[in-house]
Structure 1
């Protein structure tokens, strides 16, 4: 029996049907339609529709939503063929046909359709099978047809794609109608206020305002735009002579102001820094050794444009944007050190922090630590550098220094790191002087033995090691990986805080750490900070996969014995939950890790049904298994409990 649909999905389907029936609507009007149909209150439904996701949902001017299949029904768009398209059966869809991709993206069975979307860079193998060896064809996205679909055509012929019942039909076109002046006049009206707009939005609006447009074959969109005096820049269209560079800059600034709550000056400074790094990448694509001198010269020309990066939110926004670029760390390091050298005094702490983040990602954590210290030399209260130093002190197991650093941050006691450190901070011995013999009986002086050092056992430090890796995974660099797996887990739990619980630990986090290799990066980049015994333990953990175990016996409240069904090796595991909730003979999936004198399952124990054993083992053994597939498989059991 198929699983019942999520109630929100049912409401979203109803919302799309109402949009098809009533035409374009504002969020408020659309929400009222849903409320009138009995789906909730007007306020709740108005908020709901703003989060509806559907490939066939378009956003029009006037803050209106439209069902695109209704707009496109019985319309036809044309395209003029080239020899390359005819021989390969691949249409270079941009710009003439690209607005029709929504009818292909809206189907899960795209692979089996007569027409499907292919992307340059993602589907190169499929393109190569068609004999395409030109890396610029198609330029971006293309439409893959049957190999001989265009065999009877000649270069210059017009073909059309006709929309009916959400399906695209390929046809040849003998004659076209001239849509002018209606096309040019309507286009001018759309672009009056903004100056530039995406081609998708333009075509949607044209179809709404000119109901007769594209009912009969017209010239291809690209030719219509050119003849009306318009030019394209990427996805955008504007009148010839339009300043696209200033337009994109303003859009980027508005995005930063909204997304990161930045002041306009901060957004402009972030963009200037990101553009400087991007320009360095283009100027020195292979040899980065000269970037520093080049960047110093560029910064010297106008150092004030970078000054607002001094604010922590702006510096963080710059780092996030730069993280989206490929192979940017060496370039960012060179540019950031140049900014620290030649930038305004106020920006130096941020510049050193950025240099430290780049050095860290390059595997130079000691260098990074020195940069963070340099940031505090310029501004002792620069919070991002203080926090990074606290994290590094924690990785060294120096809880005393880490807590002292957090104490310099307003609200530092509310940080997750503070709670962790409080658990492992050394006990104070005010009765002992620095030169007194240590309380532990070693015979050494207190100051060289246990002063400022944690007194917890190695077993407890194993738990701390796992938490250190979890904190590392929460950095912006890796949090998306953890979040995506937590979402897979949480969708099987029927409660409001499911995602929060999934992010706090357990299967999703453990899978992100080990199967997405975050733990491997942690060991590589933090290894020289970890105490030697913790580093050795971490390296052992890297060799331990998840496996399927049979519960051999339990000691309620204390431990259980797990036998690996693949290797027949048994382990005594300290796990209170498992000892109380699992019976001998039951099957589980876990990652059993050495932890000092005990074995532990820090990522939790996942019960599995006997019928799922072989399927899970196949997933664990396959080199092609993706981390989300493991989380999905092991979380599916909760569906029966909902």
Structure 2
């Protein structure tokens, strides 16, 4: 992972020049110096300083900003090598070299690069590292040439000289190890945790002589000062990192949902109940007893925003949270204050749905709506379930009870497939379709659309499900991969709207498989059978061999098979496209968008699509290269 170098912006360059010369600076000081130098008005410079997002701007623990290259110039950090680091050329940056990572990222022309376990796992693995040797966070790739002649256990120094990040052996004796305990106490405090990079930069800003000669590694200094580290945070020994992270997460979610204090208390109480159920393996009866002991603390969950916040927090801090969430929510349904029962039913329903029991989920959503006729989240879930069943009239009726429901995407989908009115027919008359059955058992309340048309509804059902809170991260991640090729502030939103992103999330990302597993019981029988066929269809590279009147003949480059496909905008004969061609009943169609394929990338794409398991990110990245 790297930060791409952007074209120079004169006002940004001026702001960095001031920060390099006069920093570290508070926002007010920085603004005043820019205004005094004639770079703009106070309002304009205040906005620049507050919004400037530049890889060389370091934000210190005391709230000031510093120029990272100036702050780190002349500093030296040490690290003791492991065997895997010597053989791979990749050095774990945390904690010893953590202050240098953003400086390395700021210039991707440097010989040394920053890699991250979450983003660069494939590249790290290609270096020959076993899973247990993967760095947990960030690492600096110097290469095997830079580490030639070093052995396991050797102490190396990494210094910043003239803007370069240089690795060299430690010659001679180390400088006396500084005692950082008092400095950590001052900057972090005994009852707090802070980001390691931010704290280290603060110490450098406060002491121009710190880390100017090789001394003990930063990790050893942290330990000897009586401090612990968890990930990229440090705190005094014995600090409860889990509680700190939870409190931080709750505070963030509370801001996002605009909660007031008693709602925050309700969220915290519910999250603690979920944690107790999970850690102590409590059953529903035991969880009920916990609620009985202090039911009033859950009162703040009454509002839908507070319930949504509770779900967000639990989802963010627990890996396998749904069973415990379900048990805790059931306990609050039974023993919590009456005013929060709608929220508790909704939480129970969300958990039941994720656990694969959508019919149980529906019962809870119905109970929530019965207790509060305007409880929007439950109404929306019920409308989506009605849509999955193919019951457009019920879905539209439910959305009509929501303020602004007609603006929901689901509303447009349901309107498109709502059944036509047939006032000339009674319930017991023969159906208009010619089936010979009574209207009430054949098409009353059901869409008149053919399966070929309803295939688009099926696709929309899966798309809406993939946009649910618990699944959205995969779709967003693929949109971000696509957006890397575009240089504008709306890139991610535009990428999210592109058919490729959602289709890859559904099929290579296996969200459609999850949709069928969880919601298949609701689908009309012919749509469920069609969904099964879609799961067997593979994306491929196709050549357009003929085309006329909205129908093209495609030849699968991998298999040689040909198919006549209905398509809105036919590519030119001879063009190469990447698409998933699927049956929709009586026709073959492309529902997930068409991607043009440059001839020179054909073989590479065919090889990628031939793998048994295609990585979604790799596919989106390759198909997005045409925008570079």
* Secondary structure of the corresponding residue to residue 538 of structure 1: helix
State the 1:411 CA deviation: 1.3
In 1, distance between residues paired with 2:352 and 2:491?
36
For residues 342-353 of structure 1, the aligned pairs below 5 Å read 342-353=335-346
* Secondary structure of the corresponding residue to residue 469 of structure 2: coil
Question: Which deviates the most, 355-364 or 385-394?
Answer: 355-364
* Secondary structure of the corresponding residue to residue 616 of structure 1: helix
Please tell me whether residue 174 in structure 1 is matched to residue 173 in structure 2.
yes
State the 1:563 CA deviation: 1.9
Question: Which deviates the most, 23-32 or 89-98?
Answer: 89-98
Q: Residues 562 and 250 of structure 1: is their aligned pair in 2 closer, same or farther, counting only changes over 3 Å?
A: closer
Preserved CA contact (<8 Å) 1:88 1:147: no
State the 1:374 CA deviation: 2.3
Q: Residues 227 and 543 of structure 1: is their aligned pair in 2 closer, same or farther, counting only changes over 3 Å?
A: closer
In 1, distance between residues paired with 2:613 and 2:186?
52
Q: Find 1:338's aligned residue among 307, 327, 331.
A: 331
Please tell me whether residue 299 in structure 1 is matched to residue 299 in structure 2.
no
In the alignment, which residue of structure 1 is the partner of 2:593? 604
State the 1:5 CA deviation: 6.6
Q: Deviations over 1:89-140 (max 9, x none)?
A: 9999765654455456667699x86998889x979x989989998x9x9998
Q: Residues 424 and 45 of structure 1: is their aligned pair in 2 closer, same or farther, counting only changes over 3 Å?
A: farther
In the alignment, which residue of structure 1 is the partner of 2:421? 428
Q: Residues 574 and 39 of structure 1: is their aligned pair in 2 closer, same or farther, counting only changes over 3 Å?
A: farther
Q: Residues 259 and 90 of structure 1: is their aligned pair in 2 closer, same or farther, counting only changes over 3 Å?
A: same
Preserved CA contact (<8 Å) 2:170 2:214: no
Q: Deviations over 1:510-569 (max 9, x none)?
A: 11211111111111111111111111111111111221222122224x222222222222
Preserved CA contact (<8 Å) 1:608 1:634: yes
In 2, distance between residues paired with 1:338 and 1:188?
43
* Secondary structure of the corresponding residue to residue 577 of structure 1: coil
In the alignment, which residue of structure 1 is the partner of 2:60? 60
Q: Find 2:253's aligned residue among 236, 252, 256.
A: 256
Q: Residues 109 and 364 of structure 1: is their aligned pair in 2 closer, same or farther, counting only changes over 3 Å?
A: farther
Please tell me whether residue 528 in structure 1 is matched to residue 521 in structure 2.
yes
State the 1:418 CA deviation: 0.6
Q: Deviations over 1:42-74 (max 9, x none)?
A: 766755665655665421145322233322322
Structure 2: 5+ residue stretches without partners: none
In the alignment, which residue of structure 2 is the partner of 1:318? 310
State the 1:572 CA deviation: 1.7
Preserved CA contact (<8 Å) 2:553 2:563: yes
Preserved CA contact (<8 Å) 1:130 1:147: no
Preserved CA contact (<8 Å) 1:99 1:200: yes
Q: Deviations over 1:274-300 (max 9, x none)?
A: 23323333334xxxxx53333223222
* Secondary structure of the corresponding residue to residue 166 of structure 1: strand
Preserved CA contact (<8 Å) 1:336 1:351: yes
Preserved CA contact (<8 Å) 1:92 1:142: yes
Q: Residues 37 and 532 of structure 1: is their aligned pair in 2 closer, same or farther, counting only changes over 3 Å?
A: farther
Please tell me whether residue 471 in structure 1 is matched to residue 464 in structure 2.
yes
Q: Residues 496 and 281 of structure 1: is their aligned pair in 2 closer, same or farther, counting only changes over 3 Å?
A: closer
Preserved CA contact (<8 Å) 2:68 2:103: no
Structure 1: 5+ residue stretches without partners: 285-289
In 1, distance between residues paired with 2:91 and 2:603?
44
Preserved CA contact (<8 Å) 2:534 2:582: yes
* Secondary structure of the corresponding residue to residue 215 of structure 1: coil
Q: Deviations over 1:487-512 (max 9, x none)?
A: 33345457775544433342222112
Preserved CA contact (<8 Å) 1:554 1:561: yes
Please tell me whether residue 70 in structure 1 is matched to residue 63 in structure 2.
no
Q: Residues 349 and 82 of structure 1: is their aligned pair in 2 closer, same or farther, counting only changes over 3 Å?
A: same
State the 1:459 CA deviation: 1.5
Q: Residues 356 and 249 of structure 1: is their aligned pair in 2 closer, same or farther, counting only changes over 3 Å?
A: closer
Preserved CA contact (<8 Å) 1:89 1:148: no
For residues 370-449 of structure 1, the aligned pairs below 5 Å read 370-449=363-442
State the 1:255 CA deviation: 2.0
TM-score normalised by L of structure 1: 0.81
TM-score normalised by L of structure 2: 0.82
* Secondary structure of the corresponding residue to residue 487 of structure 1: helix
In the alignment, which residue of structure 1 is the partner of 2:582? 593
Please tell me whether residue 510 in structure 1 is matched to residue 509 in structure 2.
no
In 2, distance between residues paired with 1:37 and 1:614?
57
In the alignment, which residue of structure 2 is the partner of 1:287? none
In 2, distance between residues paired with 1:450 and 1:424?
13
Preserved CA contact (<8 Å) 1:104 1:117: no
For residues 33-182 of structure 1, the aligned pairs below 5 Å read 47=47, 57-77=57-77, 98-102=98-102, 149=150, 161-164=158-161, 165-171=164-170, 174=173, 176-177=175-176
Preserved CA contact (<8 Å) 1:304 1:343: yes
* Secondary structure of the corresponding residue to residue 427 of structure 1: coil
In 2, distance between residues paired with 1:116 and 1:443?
67
Question: Which deviates the most, 74-83 or 193-202?
Answer: 74-83
Q: Find 2:202's aligned residue among 177, 181, 205.
A: 205
In 1, distance between residues paired with 2:574 and 2:480?
31
In 1, distance between residues paired with 2:311 and 2:289?
22
Q: Deviations over 1:10-62 (max 9, x none)?
A: 98788656644443344566578889999998766755665655665421145
Q: Find 1:626's aligned residue among 610, 615, 618.
A: 615
Q: How many residue pairs align between the two structures? A: 617
* Secondary structure of the corresponding residue to residue 573 of structure 1: strand
State the 1:356 CA deviation: 1.4
State the 1:240 CA deviation: 7.6
In 1, distance between residues paired with 2:105 and 2:425?
71
In 2, distance between residues paired with 1:33 and 1:543?
64
State the 1:160 CA deviation: 5.6
In the alignment, which residue of structure 1 is the partner of 2:187? 190
* Secondary structure of the corresponding residue to residue 291 of structure 2: helix
In 1, distance between residues paired with 2:237 and 2:485?
52
In 2, distance between residues paired with 1:132 and 1:635?
30
In 1, distance between residues paired with 2:595 and 2:394?
37
